[in-house]
Structures are given as C-alpha cells and as structure tokens.
C-alpha cells in the first residue's frame, strides 16, 4: 500500500476507536522544542487536572488524599507531587477496582501486563490513554525518520497469536503497511524463510526485542545469510524495545543489518517513557509522564542513578501517581544536538530475557513464556530453568486466583509454545529471588548459553 494512503487509513482507524492520536502527535511535535518554563507550565496544569479528576472519580485516590490531608487545590507545583506516597504493584493489585474511573470515556477496559520479569499486573486503560501512547510512539519513530504509513515489520509474536490473525486483520495490516514475523521461535530453516519474505516485502523499519535481533544476526552468519541485503531493498533502521540494549548488542545488530539501531523504553502500565533520537539521546515523554529517581533502599530522592518513579498525567481512567517501576535509570536535562528541549533517560538495568532451546532445535525467546502467565490467572512471577536439552522447570509464584488446574494449564500452554515433546515440570514456590547481580532472570538456560557461545544453532 502507498505510504500516504496507509497513513490516512490508520488515521481513520484511530478515529473509529475514539483516539485523537494524530492531533496529539501534532501537539507533541510542537511542544518538544518549547522552553523549559513553558513545558513545566504544561506539566503542572496536567498534574493538577489529573489530581482533580482522580479525587472526583476514584474512591482510592480520594481516600488516600483525605488520609494525607491533601486537597487537589493544594497541588500548585511539580514539587507538590512529593506529598503523595509511593505506589507499587501490590497496592494496584489490592485496590485496582477502587482506582478506576470507568466512565472516563471510550473503551475503558481491563488489560494485563507482566513485563520482562512477569510480576503480573492488571490495570485499566482507555481510548484517551492509548491515543497518547500511540502519538508518543509515532513521534519517536518520526525522530529517526520513520512515519506512520511506511512499511514497518514487527518481529515478534507467537504461533497462537499468528493463528488468530483472521482475514480481516491481515487485510487491515496490509492496508496500513504493518507486517508480523514470528520472532518467538527461531530456527535456521525459519530464518531462511523469514529473510526471503523480508526481501520481498521490503520493510523500512523492523521493530522487535534486542535478544531476538542478536540471535538472528548470529544465526544468519552461520547460515551464510547476508542481512545487509535488506538495506538495498529499503531497510533504514532497526527499532528495539522492552529489553536492556547493551552497547555490545547494539553494535552487533548494526553490523549485522547494516543500519542504525534506535531504542525505546516504556512500561505498559505507565506509558511510553523514552525514545532515542538520531543523536543517540533517549528523550523522555515529558508532556505525558513525570519522572523521579529514588534510592530503592532508603526511598530518598537521588540526583544520579536510582529507581525510576513515574507519574502518568494523561491517563485519567486509571491515575498513577509516583509509581515505583523497579528499573534503575539515570535522568538528565543535558541539551541534545537535535535541539529538542525534552529531558533524557539512560537505562542502567532491570530488563533482560534469554532463550530456551527445544529438542526440535527451536530457539524460544523468554517473552513467549510471559504470554502463558498472562493467560493463566493468579501467576504473580515466573522463572524458567533449563539445565539440559529436552527438559525445562517452570517455577511459579501465585496468589489466590490461581485455579486448581493451573499447573496443568501451564504445562499445556508451555508445550504449545515449545511445539514438541520436551519434558516440562511446574512447581509452586514462595518467591523467586534476584541473582547476586541484583537482576531478576526470568529465563535461565545453560543449554542456550553453551550453544550460543559455540555458535551452534542447530541441535
């Protein structure tokens, strides 16, 4: 589909869903170069409105503010945000139904997220909030030369999700120049097929997880596939998300594909936090999210590296004030050569996933197991361990919503994901501790680590 036509069709789709994404995009492209004083005035106004609406329409925030002797009119500056106590996942789980304004607007609905560590969380979103996120993501893409309507390939998904793509969805994706390649299960044979499809479809951007791109580049090298051929067919950039992108992995992906890599960072419950520009600065979405850093032990504010605390000021259906993310970052207001006046963020740690290798030789990305946890109620945290080929252990931390046949459900869904007769054992545990490094590892596979070290991608 011609990019101009695809962009217009996407606009119509957004309008049908009650989302003013393109009007918001136009506003964001203007405000990103405002002087700091003017931008801060916008932030204060949006914070005040968010607090007022939360007080009026949600029992949780009204009670919390009254308990802390805090009235909406007392919020006069960004500093007044410090009057609010911290919010975390456990509080949201316990008070979710008291935190939502269900009459806020169109498509107020419950969604479930888990992040890379699968600390499962259900919360509400709406057309208002999703329009803001879509606009922010489109702006980030435009920073690096990718406009909505140009061909973009999403390199993720799963066999189950792909099978559910009915004819209407396939046609819709074709009309708006979106495509999907299953990046959750990669084998040498599949990669050869994927590459042929990519050469034919000629995407301008491929969007996916860093770990999948690293595996793809390494596997392609052993197969004699030259991924840089995609550049001559129109590929301009790789866009990554969700996982920690190291400088080593960035260089490997850039060499492998022959195009630059631009990273983005967000949290499903808090929104898009940052996106890189062409100068390598990850600019924050200051018009939508207020960011702080704290010492995770003392909870005191930090000037340098610290745990990220986020406040969403454009999602009135489910207000989030001072939400502890668990991710370690550094915030900055250093000017960027691109001329944008937005603040910036550097991700220090907190997100990483790995692979499981099946007896059939499929490299199954750790994110695919997250979708199992989303499908089975009551899973709070998970970890997949593979000591030897053909067998995995799945450890689960669950709550009272976990069904009596939950273990069997997990086994069945894991077998579907892996697509073979690998031995699967599931056990319930009280907690899953972080490694000595302080990082939580949702997937630990000695098999994948050894095979990758030896560059052996076939079983």
Could you tell me the pLDDT band of residue 440, with boundaries at 50, 70 and 90?
low
Q: What is the pLDDT of residue 12?
A: 94
Euclidean distance between CA atoms 200 and 359, whole angstroms: 31
Average pLDDT, the chain: 90
Could you tell me the pLDDT band of residue 434, with boundaries at 50, 70 and 90?
low
Q: What is the pLDDT of residue 161?
A: 47
Nearest Cα to Cα of residue 63 among 75, 52, 55? 55
Checking if the pLDDT of 2 tops 90, the result is no
Q: What is the pLDDT of residue 352?
A: 57
* Region 26-43 average pLDDT: 97
Instruction: State the CB neighbour count (10 A cutoff) for residue 358.
Output: 23
* Region 401-408 average pLDDT: 94
Domains and CATH numbers, the chain: 3-133+266-349 (3.40.50.12780), 145-259 (3.40.50.980), 355-454 (3.30.300.30)
Instruction: State the CB neighbour count (10 A cutoff) for residue 91.
Output: 16
Judged by DSSP in three states, 389 sits in coil
207 φ, ψ (degrees, to nearest 5)? -120, 130
Could you tell me the pLDDT band of residue 350, with boundaries at 50, 70 and 90?
low
Q: What is the pLDDT of residue 353?
A: 64
Compute and round to an integer the Cα radius of gyration of the chain.
22
Contacts of 430 by beta carbon, 8 Å cutoff, 6+ apart: 397
Instruction: State the CB neighbour count (10 A cutoff) for residue 235.
Output: 23
- Top-confidence residue, 244 or 212: 212
pLDDT tens per residue across span 409-426 = 999 999 988 888 899 999
**C-alpha count within 13 angstroms, C-beta hemisphere, residue 73:** 0
Q: What is the pLDDT of residue 158?
A: 46
Distances, alpha carbon 392 to alpha carbons 94, 376, 395, 459, in Å: 32, 19, 10, 16
Nearest Cα to Cα of residue 81 among 329, 404, 321? 321
Could you tell me the pLDDT band of residue 168, with boundaries at 50, 70 and 90?
low
Q: What is the pLDDT of residue 160?
A: 44
Place of tokens 């603040």: 343
Judged by DSSP in three states, 127 sits in helix
Could you tell me the pLDDT band of residue 381, with boundaries at 50, 70 and 90?
confident
* Region 55-77 average pLDDT: 96
pLDDT tens per residue across span 265-308 = 999 899 999 999 999 999 999 999 999 999 988 999 998 889 99
* pLDDT-above-90 percentage for the chain: 68
- Top-confidence residue, 362 or 21: 21
* Region 382-386 average pLDDT: 91
pLDDT tens per residue across span 304-339 = 889 999 999 999 999 999 999 988 899 999 999 999
Contacts of 55 by beta carbon, 8 Å cutoff, 6+ apart: 61, 62, 65, 71, 72
Checking if the pLDDT of 115 tops 60, the result is no
Burial class of residue 73, CB neighbours in 10 A (0-12, 13-18, 19+)? exposed
Q: What is the pLDDT of residue 31?
A: 98
């Amino acid at each position: 589909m011609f990019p101009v036509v695809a962009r217009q069709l996407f606009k119509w789709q957004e309008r049908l869903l009650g989302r003013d994404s393109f009007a918001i995009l136009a506003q964001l492209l203007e405000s990103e170069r405002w002087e700091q004083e003017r931008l801060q005035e916008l932030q204060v106004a949006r914070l005040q409105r968010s607090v007022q609406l939360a007080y009026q329409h949600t029992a949780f925030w009204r009670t919390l503010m009254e308990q802390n002797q805090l009235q909406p009119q007392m919020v006069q500056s960004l500093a007044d945000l410090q009057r609010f106590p911290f919010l975390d996942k456990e509080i949201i789980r316990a008070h979710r139904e008291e935190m939502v304004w269900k009459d806020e607007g169109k498509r107020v609905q419950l969604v479930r997220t888990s992040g890379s560590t699968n600390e499962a969380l259900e919360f509400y979103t709406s057309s208002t909030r999703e329009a803001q996120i879509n606009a922010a993501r489109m702006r980030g893409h435009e920073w690096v030369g990718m406009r909505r309507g140009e061909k973009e390939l999403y390199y993720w998904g799963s066999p189950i999700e792909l099978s559910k793509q009915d004819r209407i969805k396939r046609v819709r994706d074709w009309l708006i120049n979106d495509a999907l390649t299953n990046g959750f299960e990669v084998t040498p044979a599949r990669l050869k097929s994927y590459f042929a499809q990519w050469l034919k479809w000629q995407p301008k951007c491929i969007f996916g997880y860093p770990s999948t791109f690293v595996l793809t580049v390494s596997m392609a090298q052993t197969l004699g596939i030259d991924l840089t051929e995609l550049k001559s067919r129109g590929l301009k950039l790789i866009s990554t998300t969700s996982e920690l992108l190291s400088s080593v992995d960035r260089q490997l992906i850039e060499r492998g594909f022959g195009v630059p890599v631009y990273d983005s960072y967000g949290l499903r419950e808090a929104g898009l936090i940052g996106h890189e520009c062409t100068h390598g600065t990850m600019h924050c979405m200051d018009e939508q999210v207020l960011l702080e850093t704290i010492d995770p032990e003392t909870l005191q504010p930090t000037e340098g590296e610290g745990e990220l605390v986020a406040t969403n000021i454009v999602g009135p259906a489910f207000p989030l004030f001072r939400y502890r993310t668990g991710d370690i970052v550094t915030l900055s207001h250093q000017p960027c050569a691109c001329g944008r006046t937005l603040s910036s963020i550097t991700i220090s740690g907190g997100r990483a996933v790995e692979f499981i290798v099946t007896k059939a030789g499929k490299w199954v990305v750790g994110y695919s197991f997250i979708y199992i946890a989303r499908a089975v109620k009551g899973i709070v945290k998970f970890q997949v361990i593979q000591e030897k080929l053909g067998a995995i252990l799945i450890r689960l931390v669950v709550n009272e919503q976990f069904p009596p046949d939950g273990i069997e459900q997990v086994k069945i869904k894991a077998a579907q994901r892996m697509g073979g007769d690998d031995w699967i054992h599931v056990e319930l545990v009280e907690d899953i501790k972080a490694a000595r490094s302080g990082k939580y590892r949702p997937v630990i596979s000695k098999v994948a680590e050894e095979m990758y070290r030896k560059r052996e991608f076939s079983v």
